[in-house]
Amino acid sequence: MSSGGVRAKSMIPSYPSVTRANHYTLVTGFYPGHTEIAGNTFYDPKSRRAFDKTETVWFDRESIWQTASKSKVITANINYPDARTITRGMKDVYQISKVKAVTIEDQLEAIKGWLDMSEAKRPHLITLYFNETDHQGHIYGPDAIEVEVAAKKIDKNISLIDSLVNSTGLPINIIFVSDHGMTSINKQDALPLPIVIDTMNFVINNQNLLVNVYAKDQSFVAETYSKLLKSETRITRFT
């Protein structure tokens, strides 16, 4: 498919290079620093609340579905991350009926049903998410055979979707995007939370590879930072 279209040389994710932050960036055009979706999980010091993916208040940037709606364009979604929350209450965004254990057969049935609609009711943008390579990569690492198997499964499923789309005779463009890449890590020499960080004074949000440390009071920051530089020899400082 790429040989008959346009292909980028590479993809550079926004930071943090994790699923939720980058998927929201893809559909809004805003970096995480502006969407304030600071990771898969995070804490908001202003409201003193942890992120909740079921609450629309966290997703306050205009998304591609909302932009389409303003132009009277009907859209549809098959389990794109957070799309159900972002588009909640929007009657011109179709959703696949199943939420969990969505198979390729479910996806094909939904896509066919939407594309068979009349032009006035048919969605003119369908977002679809495949999570198999991401899931296996997080568990086994990017070079594992499980990731290769997952990639082949996605490749096969895309072929089925492409055949279905071509059978409709409609002029449809298929666009592939990715939220982030992966690299192998050293699991045997992981950094523990430094003991100089007093959890009574800081809120800790552990995203596995990333750990966010939020001061309950800014007066704790300077002293703790100084202690970190003195006690942790494996820390690299970026300013």
CA distances from 163 to 5, 107, 119 (A): 16, 13, 20
The answer to whether residue 234 scores a pLDDT higher than 90 is no
The answer to whether residue 1 scores a pLDDT higher than 90 is no
CA pair distance 103, 112, nearest whole angstrom: 14
CA pair distance 205, 139, nearest whole angstrom: 20
- What pLDDT does residue 209 have? 79
Q: pLDDT digits over 14-30, tens only?
A: 999 999 999 999 999 99
Mean pLDDT of 16-45: 95
Q: Would you kindly state where each structural domain of the chain is located, as residue ranges?
A: 10-61, 187-231
H or E segment and range at residue 25: helix 19-28
- What pLDDT does residue 34 have? 96
pLDDT band at 239 (very low <50, low <70, confident <90, very high): low
SS3 56: helix
Q: pLDDT digits over 164-222, tens only?
A: 999 999 999 999 999 998 998 887 888 888 889 999 999 999 987 788 999 999 999 99
Q: Which residues contact 82 (CB under 8 A, 6 or more apart)?
A: 20, 23, 24, 53, 59
The answer to whether residue 229 scores a pLDDT higher than 70 is yes
- pTM confidence score: 0.90
More confident of the two residues 2 and 38: 38
